């Protein structure tokens, strides 16, 4: 949550770089934004609201050789100009931006106030520049003062500071991501690579407890005691075009349409349809007696699916909400594998759950989209889902890629004898998704039901996680009430909420027992006058009882959920669009949740 951008060495272009970076990072936080540029003095401009308000307020002549910027997702204090970052000390010579939470800020603020410091905001962040100010007054250098301030704070943070009379950015992290961008004559800092990808694709990932100093194209990384560290430079495979809208009205719609490409990348070099085998280098030699998935939000729904796939293959598996597992982990034994499913690789609850597992001596695997993320660096193994950058807050293509990656993991850990059919279905999946995208009637369904009081989503087996995910997408971007249930659970309580103004989306594929029983549940809904939208491959009789049908190509039962999910993504998108919602930046939400 929240986005940081910094630049030094670009001379008169610093402000442009900061504003561009903030535009790119707006998915991380968008209730206020600000910049600070340093030359002989520090100039700050910040505004409540989206970045366009900052852009309108900032003086184009405001520039300098070094600067930092921030886009905020509120944790302390409401969105106001005063609470926006950057924050400064009493002298105005130190400016700081911060992601995360400072847990002992009340104590520090009381101490600083008693010493005569004046505060202008409700934020926890503002204690940092005042701590730096005190350390400078004691005769410490800027680097020493910054370290001294950081040593006094507790919590999770990514911090960056600039100073009057200096062209350096000082930065550190603890539990919140920071990455250095290495240019030929400039250096960059950001909480996520896309912020500076237009300028350089060479990056250095900071680890917890490390400090970076950036100045006019040079950079160094040290530990908490100031000892120089050797850090390798990585090359980012994404390009700047992948983070643009490319003619789509919203990033979310673009990313829904990118799913065929994303899945091809996820599968490339990992499956052989001629032999029906899966060979993933990152999983070579991996064995497990049991598997525990930990995840949050959309990733948790992918984890539920992954657990089902492994259970069906004869491997004991469970999915846990990471926030619960971190405080009350399930029992483990020798041979337990804990898999953290996290799009960003920076989700605080998932990282906490993985660290709890590591402390108990079990092997960990990160299933993530981001090379060099904290999860990827901390876990014993990493299975990259290769979805490419996802800017929209509501996850779409990353869910599909996670589901496919779960199939790769399942095929690696167990052999059910049907791998050839599954591999072929996975190879066909990108083309079938394109077929859904080209022919979907989701917009017409959205038009018909846009004024509904609420929405229900039901499915059995592998379709249950998709029912949950369909409801989550509807909630996230339309702000409408939506719930997902195992189809058989409707009659155990939720049926009391079903009315003529609550459409039920029923996911039914194939003709097996699950499909037959779900058709029976649809009849229960129909008998209570609720409209039914069938998401189906047409193999069952469900369309006879449906008011509308969203069609799916026929495929293997374990792969069909991905196709059903694409239809539900499109429905949620079109309902939100017709309601005029902020689709890419839904209220109160942020893309990367780096606080517990």
Output the pLDDT for position 216.
82
**Rounded CA separation 39/163 (Å):** 8
Percent of the chain with pLDDT over 90: 73
474 in Cβ contact with 572 (< 8 Å)? yes
Output the pLDDT for position 594.
56
Rounded alpha-carbon distances, angstroms, from residue 316 to 123, 287, 306? 46, 13, 11
Rounded alpha-carbon distances, angstroms, from residue 412 to 223, 271, 282? 39, 11, 11
CA angle 66, 70, 72 (to 5 degrees): 170
**Rounded CA separation 88/322 (Å):** 36
Question: Taking the domains of the chain in order of start, what are their residue ranges?
Answer: 3-242, 245-434, 440-596
**Rounded CA separation 366/60 (Å):** 44
**Rounded CA separation 140/418 (Å):** 67
**Rounded CA separation 457/291 (Å):** 28
For residue 153, which phi and psi values (nearest 5 degrees)? -100, 150
Instruction: Report the CATH architecture of 440-596.
Output: 3-Layer(aba) Sandwich (3.40)
Exposed, middle or buried, 522 (CB in 10 Å: 0-12/13-18/19+)? buried
284-293 average pLDDT score: 95
The residue from 254, 265, 397, 591 that is catalytic is: 591
Name the band, by pLDDT with cuts 50, 70 and 90, for residue 455: very high
Output the pLDDT for position 163.
97
Please give the mean pLDDT across all residues of the chain.
91
Exposed, middle or buried, 268 (CB in 10 Å: 0-12/13-18/19+)? exposed
pLDDT in tens, 144-191: 999 999 999 998 899 999 999 999 999 999 988 899 999 988 999 998
Task: Read off the tokens for 541.
Answer: 């009789």
Note whether 245-434 and 440-596 share their fold: yes
38 in Cβ contact with 163 (< 8 Å)? yes
Name the band, by pLDDT with cuts 50, 70 and 90, for residue 78: confident
Q: Read out DSSP for 40-53?
A: SSEEEEEEESSHHH
564: closest CA among 108, 259, 289? 259
Output the pLDDT for position 273.
75
- Give the SS3 label for residue 346: coil
Output the pLDDT for position 51.
86
Known catalytic membership, residue 2: yes
**Rounded CA separation 354/378 (Å):** 9
**Rounded CA separation 588/577 (Å):** 18
Q: Point out which residues pair with 228 in neighbouring strands.
A: 222
pLDDT in tens, 471-516: 999 999 999 999 999 998 888 888 888 899 999 999 999 999 999 9
- Give the SS3 label for residue 352: helix
**Rounded CA separation 4/69 (Å):** 6
pLDDT in tens, 178-228: 999 999 889 999 988 888 988 999 999 998 999 999 998 789 999 999 999
Instruction: Give the right CATH number for 3-242 from 3.30.565.10, 3.30.1330.20, 3.60.20.10, 3.40.50.300.
Output: 3.60.20.10
- Structure-token match 């280098």, residue found: 281
Output the pLDDT for position 127.
96
Give the 3-state secondary structure of 109-124. Answer: HHHHHHCCCCCCCCCC
pLDDT in tens, 420-438: 889 999 999 999 999 999 9
Q: Is the peptide bond before 86 cis (omega within 30 degrees of 0)?
A: yes
The CATH number of the structural domain formed by 245-434 is 3.40.50.10490
CA angle 163, 168, 169 (to 5 degrees): 80
Rounded alpha-carbon distances, angstroms, from residue 450 to 454, 524, 577? 9, 23, 10
76-84 average pLDDT score: 82
5: closest CA among 35, 27, 48, 49? 35
518-523 average pLDDT score: 91
- Give the SS3 label for residue 343: coil
**Rounded CA separation 219/177 (Å):** 17
Chain-centre distance for alpha carbon 582: 17
- Give the SS3 label for residue 457: strand
């Amino acid at each position: 949550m929240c986005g940081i951008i910094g630049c030094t060495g670009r001379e008169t272009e610093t402000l442009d770089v900061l504003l561009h970076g903030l535009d790119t990072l707006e998915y991380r936080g968008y209730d206020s934004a600000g910049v600070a540029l340093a030359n002989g003095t520090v100039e700050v401009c910040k505004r409540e609201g989206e970045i366009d308000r900052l852009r309108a307020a900032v003086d184009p002549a405001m520039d300098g050789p070094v600067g930092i910027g921030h886009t905020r997702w509120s944790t302390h204090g409401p969105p106001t100009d005063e609470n926006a970052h950057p924050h400064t000390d009493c002298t105005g010579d130190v400016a700081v931006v911060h992601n995360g939470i400072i847990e002992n800020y009340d104590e520090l603020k009381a101490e600083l106030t008693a010493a005569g410091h004046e505060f202008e905001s409700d934020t926890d962040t503002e204690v940092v520049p005042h701590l730096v100010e005190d350390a400078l007054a004691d005769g410490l250098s800027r680097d020493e003062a910054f370290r001294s301030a950081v040593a006094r704070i507790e919590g999770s943070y990514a911090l960056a500071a600039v100073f009057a009379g200096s062209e350096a950015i000082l930065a550190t992290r603890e539990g919140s991501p920071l990455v250095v961008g290495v240019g030929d004559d400039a250096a960059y800092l950001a909480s996520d690579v896309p912020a500076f990808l237009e300028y350089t694709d060479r990056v250095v990932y900071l680890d917890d407890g490390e400090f970076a100093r950036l100045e006019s194209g040079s950079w160094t990384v040290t530990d908490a005691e100031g000892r120089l560290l050797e850090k390798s430079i990585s090359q980012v495979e994404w390009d700047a075009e992948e983070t643009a809208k490319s003619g789509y009205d919203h990033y979310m719609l673009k990313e829904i349409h990118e799913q065929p490409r994303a899945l091809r990348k996820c599968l490339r070099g990992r499956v052989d349809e001629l032999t029906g085998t899966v060979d993933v280098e990152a999983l070579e030699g991996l064995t497990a007696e049991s598997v525990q998935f930990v995840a949050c939000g959309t990733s948790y729904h992918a984890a539920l699916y992954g657990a089902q796939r492994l259970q069906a293959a004869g491997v004991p598996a469970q999915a846990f909400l990471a926030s619960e597992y971190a405080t009350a982990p399930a029992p483990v034994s020798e041979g337990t594998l804990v898999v953290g499913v996290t799009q960003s690789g920076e989700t605080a609850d998932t990282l906490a759950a993985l660290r709890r597992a590591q402390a108990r001596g079990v092997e960990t695997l990160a299933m993530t989209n981001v090379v060099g993320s904290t999860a990827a660096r901390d876990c014993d193994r990493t299975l990259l889902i290769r979805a490419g950058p996802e800017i929209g807050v509501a996850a779409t293509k990353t869910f599909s890629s996670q589901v496919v990656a779960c199939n790769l993991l399942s095929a690696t850990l167990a052999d059910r004898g049907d791998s050839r059919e599954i591999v072929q279905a996975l190879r066909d999946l990108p083309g079938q998704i394109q077929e859904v995208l080209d022919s979907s009637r989701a917009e017409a369904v959205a038009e018909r039901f846009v004024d509904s009081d609420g929405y229900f989503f039901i499915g059995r087996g592998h379709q249950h996680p998709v029912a949950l995910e369909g409801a989550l997408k509807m909630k996230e971007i339309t702000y409408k009430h939506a719930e997902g249930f195992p189809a058989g659970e409707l009659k155990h309580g939720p049926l009391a909420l079903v009315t003529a103004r609550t459409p039920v989306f029923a996911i039914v594929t194939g003709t097996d027992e699950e499909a037959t029983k779900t058709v029976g549940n649809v009849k229960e809904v129909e008998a209570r006058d609720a409209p039914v939208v069938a998401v189906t491959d047409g193999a069952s009789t469900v369309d006879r009882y449906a008011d509308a049908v969203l069609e799916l190509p026929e495929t293997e039962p374990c792969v069909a959920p991905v196709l059903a999910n694409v239809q539900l993504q499109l429905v949620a998108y079109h309902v939100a669009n017709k309601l005029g919602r902020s689709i890419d930046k839904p209220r109160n939400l942020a893309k990367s949740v780096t606080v517990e």
